[in-house]
Every structure is written in structure tokens, then in C-alpha cells.
Amino acid sequence: MAKRNGQCYLFANWKMYLDYDDSNILANAIAAAKKKIPATVKMAVFPSALSLYPVGQVLGDVGISVGPQNVYWVDKGGYTGEVSAVMYKAAGCEYALVGHSERRLQMRENNHDVRQKTEAILAAGLTPVLCVGETKEEREDGKADTSIEIQLRSAFHEIVWPKDRELIVAYEPVWAVGTGLTCEPQEADRIHAGIKKMISLLVPNAEPVILYGGSVKADNVKSYLTGDNTSGVLVGGASTKLESWMEIVNSLE
């Protein structure tokens, strides 16, 4: 199922589910299964910071990209516990997640932090995967579109987008991430159309790639990918086991 530029994006966020050994075992299993993944699938994996380098070595050999789940916006210095975008770039990363709802909620990341991180990711030569989405309360109050618009404006207003750099946004309704609840595919695609429209105003020269994320599994992935405005999916829980990941891959055929 080819989507954008003949490719369907399947991005895997391993969150903090896998320790060092688990991550390496899964990376090796994915590398071994790579020939069963259609060439039209563009895959990237976001492991923990601890496992990123060895996982990147294994997956890089089979043409699968890696990236961090978070970055710090200063390149180097007295920032205990942080890792900069520049450091991840030097470690072989191509992408970086930014603004994931678990960081916005649990680590109190705000739109200003997300903007600084987005700029640092771009400056380091990485491609940001900006996560946006409304909370349950915002959806119930009819404020989903407004909430997403605020997040997009904050991340992209007057930003200088490097030529030829992909612009990727993952729409991840907060209430659907890790909950088993899912957004109706037509509604997700409607939101994606709105995100595209917004980006055409904020970053006119970019051609956005929009992913859906939120409890994607083998039995629902295709329903999202049929949307005209949807280029792929960002998968959390179901990407952390070879079996459920390959079920997703196989269900695309």
C-alpha cells in the first residue's frame, strides 16, 4: 500500500518498554525479517536513548532509520541527564520525535519547549516528527481542532525549514495513545487534512507527511492508511514485539 512518494511510513516508538537486551534482540529480529517488509515501507525505530546506538548499527545495515524519543535543545554543556540533537545526529540518527504526548503530560513539556527542540533538531540535520493531538477534555468540549492548531502554530510559526527536509507530523489524540481507544479513521483523516492546510500557511514550501498514532494494531492499520491525507502510522505498544509488528506489516498487503 504505497502512500506518499510511493512509500508508506511505519514508525515504531518503543517508548521505555524495552531494556538494552530486549531492544537489541528485537532489532536483530527485525533485521532478520527485513526481506519480508515490502520495499514501499519506510520504517524508522525510536528506541530508548540507552539502546539507540547498537540498535542503529543493526538496523542501519538493513536500511531502517533510527531516532531518539526526545532531545535537548542546547548542543553541549552543563545539562545533567540530557542528550542533544547534535549528539544523536553524530550517533547516526535520521529522525527525532518531538512533542510526544507522554512527554507533554508527564514531563510537563510545553509548546515553547517543543519549539526549541524542533529548531535544535532541524539545526542538527535531523528530521523532526512533531506529535500533536488533543486531550479527551478538549475533544469533548469541541476544541480538538483549536488545540492542534495552537500546537502547530507554536512549533512552526516563521520557522525556516531546510530545503529538501521532510516535514512530518504525527496526529496522536492523547486519549488514544496507549489506551486501546482509537480515533475513527474518517475523523483522523479530517484532522490530517486540517493539519496539511495549516502547514501550507505556516511552511508554504514544505510537502507535509501526516501520520496517525494511537493504539494502531494489525486489525486497524489499513483503515487509517486508506485516508487520502494519511501517509503512515506511528505505533507504540504494538511495535515492541516482533509478532505484532510483523502482523501490522503483513496486513498492509
Distance from the first to the final alpha carbon of the chain: 6
* Residue 236 contacts ligand PEP per CB under 6 A: yes
Task: Classify residue 35 by its DSSP letter.
Answer: G
**Closest CA relative to residue 66, chosen from 122, 12, 15:** 12
Torsion of CA 114, 166, 176, 179, to 10 degrees: -90
Between 56 and 236, whose beta carbon lies closer to ligand PEP? 236
Give the shortest CB-203-to-ligand PEP separation in angstroms: 22
Q: Least distance from C-beta 243 to ligand PEP, angstroms? A: 15
Residue 143 grid cell:
476544541
The 10 Å Cβ neighbour count of residue 228 is 9
The verdict on 237 binding ligand PEP (CB under 6 A) reads: yes
CB of 100 to ligand PEP, least distance (A): 6
| Cβ closest to ligand PEP, residue 47 vs residue 237 | 237
Give the active site residue among 102, 109, 134, 172.
172
Q: Minimum Å distance from CB 184 to ligand PEP?
A: 15
In this structure, are strands 127-132 and 232-235 parallel, antiparallel, or unpaired?
unpaired
Q: Cell numbers at residue 227, please?
A: 485516508
The answer to whether 192 is a known catalytic residue is no
Active site residue 100: yes
As a whole number of angstroms, the distance between CA 144 and CA 107 comes to: 22
Q: Is 192 in the site for ligand PEP (CB under 6 A)?
A: no
**Nearer Cβ to ligand PEP, position 128 or 236?**
236
In the complex with ligand PEP, the residue whose CB is nearer, 86 or 183, is: 183
Angle between the 144-156 and 111-123 helix axes, to the nearest 10 degrees? 40
Nearer to ligand PEP, 86 or 211 (CB): 211
Q: How far is the CB of 77 from ligand PEP (least distance, A)?
A: 29
The answer to whether residue 15 forms part of the interface with ligand PEP (CB under 6 A) is yes
Q: Which amino acid is it at 191? A: I
- Environment class of residue 158 by beta-carbon count within 10 Å: exposed (0-12), middle (13-18) or buried (19+)? exposed
In the DSSP assignment, the letter for residue 244 is H
Antiparallel, parallel or unpaired: β 127-132 and 41-46: unpaired
- Annotate each residue in 210-229 with x if it binds ligand PEP (CB under 6 A) or - if it does not, as one string: ---xxxx-------------
Q: Which residues bind ligand PEP (CB under 6 A)?
A: 13, 15, 172, 177-178, 213-216, 234-238
Residues marked active site are found at: 100, 172
